[in-house]
Structure 1
């Protein structure tokens, strides 16, 4: 080496590389020249340049995609580190390691430690210089590309052409990244664009994409299983967000703040171009939507009958949204679903229950509408794929829901969904007033605490049954040791126990059966057209369920009476015999069912 130290030789060659016209070389060629300098200067045959991904904590050979090892421990800036048969040159920048050069076959006894550390510093300086040079060069190219692309965007009035140009440009500039577009279903004729559905269903990545879409902010997630970093850039213009650009970064590559900002500008430029293309179409659609809302609101203010109002609203939604089925349901005070008049025939079939079961929980939880392009992803044998469900909310209380269906997947656009939300919002007050009248009638015949029927209404139902039916069974129920519950746990717990028992009873009788708050801790159940044997089975089942499903654990006693058409018996006698049977059950140890003498 002509008397020169090894670090002087390596430094000289690296400085010579820096003094040359670096723009003639690619980053791959520069890294290869760095490796050649080290191999030659240190007289070794093995040297590998690794990039380091801090988020994934993996080292990846330069210009490859598969990470192969973790970062060695105890690396220090400006120092050569040895681990077994390998030596490592750590490359730091701002006290953070970002790359590593692995050496094998280095005879450290031939070189002073100070010289080897100087080589480490020279490599660090060299890589910092070329990184800065490439950063400046790439930055200039990027903004030149951004200017040209923005000009081209504004010459395109077709939404799909704008999106295709965006993806093409990104693929050219970031060849190691994968790109996808989350778009709503009102974007047609998308050709070969990498489209993913943007909706309210649960497909992979949709939740984060929807967050980016709704907030207008870039979102980030990590896929540790596939060693991927995923960014979600909202494609937004001045008026709103039109989709989401998903950027998938594999393994060793990272997205720094500058590139993140650049992609954000590209996405915003595309959003502005999309906005221009959509603006005229949106203005025409808005005028039509306002005319529809005004027409329906005017009609509702005419104080039509409830049935006529619902029939009219249903027909307008069918026509305006090109729907195949339209229905309205509400949840009564017993938590049961009932359908408004005006709902189409499909809502009177058993199949609608599958839709209700799936939608109800989600709507009750969030009081938000559901826009589902293909519900067959969740209900596999569903007849209707496209679903729009909008809750009827008044004073933060769920009153009901409008449900619009079509057999074709993705038939409804997101704009249609927003229009339906606006329609339902404007009509909910009128519908709620009609419901209020029904609720006032219900209050008269319902116990406030247990939501069972009142005793007066119960008596009316039994009298009606005795006049028209052939038989019936009456069950009088009393909560055992109820005073002890109140004294031990307090009256609030006592009320909760009453509600628990009432709910168990409701869950164990038919819709046509009648349960009522008889008085205090007593509850009555009437089973029209039910014989005594069946009535006893039902009573014993209620006793068992109460014993096994209450907290604190309680028991009940039941007295059962029965009538049939052969006996001209009135309600009072039926009550009296059940009361006597209940008295016997109490005296015989409670927690049981006692029957009066069989009717002859």
Structure 2
């Protein structure tokens, strides 16, 4: 047992035992070392109670870390704060020394002598050593001896703490190195974010972690992701400040006894999110841990930046390939219907759009438009008409593209099942030719990058649209008559030749307006042209899709009726004769010659000659008649 006359041998024995502990066993933990240290002090000092309290920077509390009599309930085991320690220290100092009366650390009333030996260096409180002795008389000289013991314990603990801190730091930075290697070997943002969380959980398993990212980020992985809010109303929050300033921010939640750290995931070109670390039962973060979390966040920020840039480059390459492929296809002399169908398929496939509409404006007037048949089903409904009218009003004021994330918010009075809207005008030489409309029912479904890509796609395809329309207009001019808009004689010849080559049957009619020269002489050539147009329109209305009506030459028109019998043809011709006589202004009559063919026995020239002879017979017979030139001569019906 220790006596009032503190023996130098005891002090020497402690130093030797401490040295042996310090140099033996390299694989034990700091807590195990404290336990062994307490056992050795118990052997030499023979206290009735002994305990080592260590200050925890995370919780700002003193914890009993080692006790030689763990089953004893007489020593205080519950943690207490630094402020409680200061108050306790001020009330219990013994004489002028730093040795304190430790009665408050006892849970019973006893006659033991209780001593608290502070373990501190300069302004840092490391902890304290508690000793209790039975039947002991306190002296001032003994305080000096206890201070010497405390100093020796402090030196050993500081060295061991430094040693274990170094081991922890080594493990942390070895882990950080391994994580950095993984970061730079992956170009997947999900992998980078998952590695951040896994690393922190390995180092600080008791903490909570969240990744605060912008709303345009989506993932299929089970990651603790929250949407980063940085609206004007909440910019004062620590998370928003970390994102906006790029600096570490702290937040103390006193009511929950939690401390929050917000570390920006910062790259060279910007901040890509915020890492939220929540420490339960803690009031502050130690500097070493702040430094480690900051390094991890910065490393992750650079990795996220690289991954995002890589994904952006891949997306840009994919976008360019899409534009190139689409432009190449559209410039391959497609018809307008083929062009629109291809574009609609590309947009639906590339942008996951639900509805795609193509609207062409007539005569450069936005209010007068045509919805192309190749548009998806929605654009042919009554609801779409009101929707398109609204968009056209917007386009009439300016020629800018429209990108609407939530249509119902912008237009609460207009019913529409689709909330995400992209409307890109087709502009050629400063004139709006039409608009491409892309829709999706989910609000904010399309990203801004998608919008810009659609703009590029429409810009590159507008010329192809215009060329397809011009091509069809030219083809229409080639195969139609300028005055009557009926088919041309060349187109009629080609159509009949195809039918003859297929070996089917049909009827050909030549229609001549009677006394047409008198119409021109009496009313003028302009009225004469109007008469030809009237007769052509009546023929078109009657024949419809059953055949082809063409301008044969001058005041002569022609009709081809494939797969019609002679009887059917004469019934139609007779109906035309009476209709024209009763419906034209000024009133005119027609004469008609009909020829019939079956199989491939006739050629085109003979076919026309027989119809022309029949027409001649109708004229000779007094006009306003229908004739057929048969094998045995002219037959009247």
Q: TM-score range by the shorter chain?
A: 0.3 to 0.5
Q: Which has the higher contact order (CA 8 A, sep 6+)?
A: 1
TM-score (norm 1): 0.47
Larger Rg: 2
TM-score (norm 2): 0.44
